[in-house]
Chains A and B, each alone.
Chain A
Amino acid sequence: MKAKTTPYLLVLPAWIWLAIFFVVPICGMLSVSLMTGNVLDGFTQTFHVANYAEAIDRYWRQILRSLAYGACATALCVAIGYPVAAWIAFRGGRHKTTYLLLLLLPFFVSQVLRTISWRFLLADDGVLLGPLKSIGLLPEDAHVLSTPLAVVTGLAYSHLPFMVLPIYAVLERVDHRVVEAARDLYATRAQAFLRVVLPMSLPGVFAGVLMVFVPTSADYVNASLLGGTGTTMIGNVIQSQYLVNNDYPMAAAITFVLMALLLAGIFGYARALGTERVMEVRA
């Protein structure tokens, strides 16, 4: 009797917390998204499915843009993060932990503060662009802020560790003897990498892609601080609908569309790979 109730007692607090503050709110949001009304007269449940049609019709550009920015930032993170993870795992020697700590150290500073710092550094006549302009390397009207480039690199900047750490975790476990065996069988360095190391590291890459793509495509901090009117992401729309316009049904509908798109992708992705494995690599 005792042994059977123990696990339930252990999970009960977390279950209650996650049920009330995660599962119920998500369902509640579905209900809110079908309401009509306004913030002054109150909202009533009318099962107004047209909210969704309106949300997609009004904001499909921002949705597509967010997915595109997220994909670009994720690709950039793979391109930057993989070589770094591989170098630390294979060549870091006894300094491996030091390099990983150096990689994480900037993240002790609040993300908002670092993004604002980028905004000052990249300002049109700021510390980085100003000197380049005055010596004529850049035209006077060159600017980085308010461009998609600024937003995408900003997104990649703030999510790079989520890519490096899972890739590092799998590369670190790669048995060197397997690579040696490939070399002994006359594989070139490139072949040994492409046909031995890369396939073994793919679970780490998949986990990293998941951990970067989802938060970057739903982010609004970078788009607000580094972007301009032409780089509005779906996160900005949700934020302003909720906190500025107080159009809760419309905001909930957009959020649900975003979540449905991302969760469908995530679960398809996780089903193909296995959630336990993806989560373990993450941890």
Chain B
Amino acid sequence: MTTTRTPAAEARAGDPARRRPRRRIDWGRLFTWAVLAWLFTPVAGMIVFSFNDIAGRQNVTWQGFTLKWYGQAFAYPDLNAALLTTVAVGVLTMLIAGVTGSLLGLALGRHRFHGRGATNLVMFAAICAPEVVLGAALLSLFLTTDVTTGFVTIVIAHVMFTISFVAITVRARVMTLDPRLEEAARDLGAGPWTTFRLVTLPMLFPAVMAGGLLALALSVDDFIITSFVGGETTTFPLWIWGSTRVGIPPQVNVMGTLIFAVGVLLAIVNIVLARRRS
């Protein structure tokens, strides 16, 4: 806190009349940490119960510590299949929505064209529409056109609701780019495709990645839309939902814990990289 003082803090520190006693309780900090504790409570519960030594599937009361579920993490074939489906849907969504959404974002940020206003309106509606409406509408479409719901329809639905998020992320980046860089490339004899490949794309890449990862995260976590268009195909959240009545086996906690651990790792890498850059 001492190295980066805000101008306001500096002004206050320099003014003895306004200086406050050191030991004042920082209510803001306390509140923020309390909220973080609240946010992490169910995650902590999930992790603790992944070590619960129970028999069967009723993972409700604490029976003692064990590591055995980590050894038997893949004991339920249909759970493994569900997890695999989730990953496959997520990666396909990331690729399809990443590309189409980025192209849309590029056009919206750079070009003037007919239908720009309508496109913004549709994107806004697609982002704001509640998931249950999107799911219900798509199911209506698939029912009236006799399309069998399953893996393909899940991917279709996920791409549909993530395209706009990717487009907004990329558009925000395009608007900060200096168009003179592309003009310079063209002046130096680069054709439109070469300019795009060597100048525009490298500058856009961080936003394209961010948009793609956002699409992946939204897809992997989605439950409501998937429950409408999933048909017989089950994803990880759907499998958990389906097993609430018969008992959620500790393997679910194990997988949740492992996914969370990956998240923590990514966050740490991110923080370290940000530190090194600054």
Interface residues of A (CB under 8 A from B): 2, 6-8, 10-11, 13-15, 17-18, 21-26, 28-29, 31-32, 80, 83-84, 86-88, 90-91, 93-94, 97-99, 101-103, 105-118, 120-121, 123, 126-127, 157, 160, 176-177, 179-180, 183, 210, 214-215, 217-221, 225, 235, 238-239, 242-243, 248, 251-252, 255, 258-259, 262-263, 266, 270, 275-276, 278-280, 282-283
Partner of A2, one of B32, B99, B100, B192: B192
| B63-71, B72-80, B160-168: which lies at the interface | B160-168
Which residues of the partner chain B approach A258 to less than 8 Å between Cβ atoms?
130, 132-133
Partner of B100, one of A6, A13, A251, A275: A13
B198: Cβ under 8 A from any A Cβ: no
Beyond A121-B42, A180-B7, 4 extra complex contacts between A and B, CB < 8 Å: A14-B103, A25-B138, A243-B228, A283-B171
Which residues of the partner chain A approach B188 to less than 8 Å between Cβ atoms?
none
Partner of A109, one of B6, B43, B126, B133: B43
CB distance from B9 to the nearest CB of A (A): 9
Q: Are B104 and A218 in contact (CB under 8 A)?
A: no
Q: Are A218 and B132 in contact (CB under 8 A)?
A: yes
Question: From DSSP, what is the main secondary structure of chain B's interface residues?
Answer: helix
Residue of B nearest to A269 (CB): B128
Q: Are B160 and A18 in contact (CB under 8 A)?
A: yes
Q: Are A270 and B124 in contact (CB under 8 A)?
A: yes
Which residues of the partner chain A approach B144 to less than 8 Å between Cβ atoms?
28, 31-32
B194: Cβ under 8 A from any A Cβ: no
Which residues of the partner chain B approach A219 to less than 8 Å between Cβ atoms?
130, 132, 224
Interface residues of B (CB under 8 A from A): 1, 3-4, 6-8, 11, 26, 28-29, 31-32, 35-36, 38-43, 45-46, 49, 60, 62, 99-101, 103-104, 106-108, 110-113, 115, 119-134, 136-141, 143-144, 156-157, 159-160, 163-164, 167-169, 171-172, 192, 220-221, 223-224, 227-228, 236-237, 240-241, 244, 248, 252, 256, 259-260, 262-264, 267, 270-271, 274, 278
Partner of B28, one of A87, A101, A110: A87
Residue of B nearest to A280 (CB): B172
Q: A14-B167, A116-B240, A116-B248 known; A242 and B228 CB under 8 Å?
A: yes
The CA of A242 and the CA of B134, in the complex, are separated in Å by 13
CB distance from B59 to the nearest CB of A (A): 8
Which residues of the partner chain A approach B1 to less than 8 Å between Cβ atoms?
93
**12 interchain pairs (CB within 8 A)?**
A11-B103, A18-B122, A21-B157, A22-B137, A106-B40, A108-B259, A217-B130, A235-B224, A255-B133, A282-B127, A282-B168, A283-B172
Q: Are A13 and B103 in contact (CB under 8 A)?
A: yes
The CA of A58 and the CA of B264, in the complex, are separated in Å by 47
Partner of A98, one of B6, B40, B271: B271
Residue from B43, B110, B172 with most neighbouring chain A CB atoms (10 Å): B43
Q: A83-B31, A176-B7 known; A29 and B137 CB under 8 Å?
A: yes
Q: Are A116 and B32 in contact (CB under 8 A)?
A: no
The CA of A23 and the CA of B118, in the complex, are separated in Å by 12
Partner of A6, one of B31, B111, B141: B111
Q: Are A106 and B42 in contact (CB under 8 A)?
A: yes
Partner of A118, one of B36, B42, B49, B228: B42
